[in-house]
Copies of this chain bind each other. A is one copy, B any other.
């Protein structure tokens, strides 16, 4: 049995990044850059007006003749004389010998000329060429997550493709003779299988959209055979159930017989203690507890960071949140507790129903409150640490 922080460290150390591929920027949301991106252009590509107004050469004069117009998209590089200005709009090209734009709100204008009421400082309202980024400068370093803003920035530089880490192929193997598919008739002693649906959805929240689900009966041969082919085809294998010490839990044996190297088994935590983590070549194997709430807890604590590591994320853990506790918590287990909790802008409330079999609490929780194994008690009003969940 190992500590939570050791389990996290072992997973981090063993989850190698995926290989890379070229992808269209318009489809790159949620991918992570595998190499740095260099700007092919200056941005802006020319001196741009930052306002709707008039471009002129700064001087002590307040009156200027209007000799033309520069609208966004135009390239009318008029040569302005000392007493001349042009009408200009936001984003438009500023003629080479104009150095200043005055806002239209600061002038008196008629058809042919303007009188500047409030004189701007020289260079005002002109965005220099390359102000945002110069040609050949680094746009993004490797391992940058591609967000909507990143897509916008890449597109505005004219970049259409980027090199990203591939998404891992993930399989879910569900074990358990007690399981019946939802929609079928529930015979006595059986329960509906739900972990595969839950884990598929949890994977989708971190960008893994296609997951293949396999199901086997609780026996060594079936489990071993199913794993044999699964281990060859997938980058990450999640196994649901069959991993506690019960006489009918064959998963660990089936994994070892398939050449999976055990990296740890059992973690000093509640819920979620019976979990196996191993690897075979580049494939990671997580045998998760069959209890739904334990399974989902361990998904958030262990599986999600491992997959983010494979995806190339530089920050694989969610930013933790600190809140004031709304009640007392006792921990006489000597284990790290992960309690389903709901936080708002000021406080956190531990929810009723923390049993490892209970998913209903999880469905209304927005976080896991972490009580470290060496903490026996948190008092109401104390600041505690939360892991936000989706």
Interface, chain A (partner B; CB < 8 A): 25-26, 29, 41, 43-46, 48, 50, 52, 71-75, 87, 89-93, 104, 127, 131-133, 139-140, 144, 147-160, 176-180, 182-184, 186-195, 197-202, 204-205, 218, 244-248, 290-292, 296, 299, 319-322, 343-345, 353, 355, 357-360, 362-366, 390
A104 surroundings in chain B (CB, below 8 A): 245
The answer to whether B200 and A26 touch across the interface, beta carbons within 8 angstroms, is: yes
**A104 to B248 alpha-carbon distance, docked (Å):** 14
Q: Can you name 11 A-B residue pairings with CB atoms under 8 Å?
A: A52-B245, A71-B178, A72-B218, A73-B179, A89-B247, A90-B244, A91-B357, A92-B189, A93-B188, A149-B362, A322-B345
**A189 to B47 alpha-carbon distance, docked (Å):** 9
With CB as the reference atom, state the residue of chain B lying closest to A195.
B152
A71 surroundings in chain B (CB, below 8 A): 177-178, 218, 248
Shortest distance from the beta carbon of A295 to any chain B beta carbon, whole Å: 8
A296 surroundings in chain B (CB, below 8 A): 148-149, 152
With CB as the reference atom, state the residue of chain B lying closest to A247.
B89
Given contacts A148-B198, A149-B359, list 12 more A-B pairs with CB under 8 A.
A45-B186, A71-B177, A73-B189, A73-B190, A91-B176, A104-B245, A127-B355, A148-B199, A152-B195, A153-B194, A153-B360, A160-B183
Question: With A52-B244, A72-B177, A93-B189 as given contacts, are A319 and B343 in contact (CB-CB < 8 Å)?
Answer: yes
With CB as the reference atom, state the residue of chain B lying closest to A76.
B189
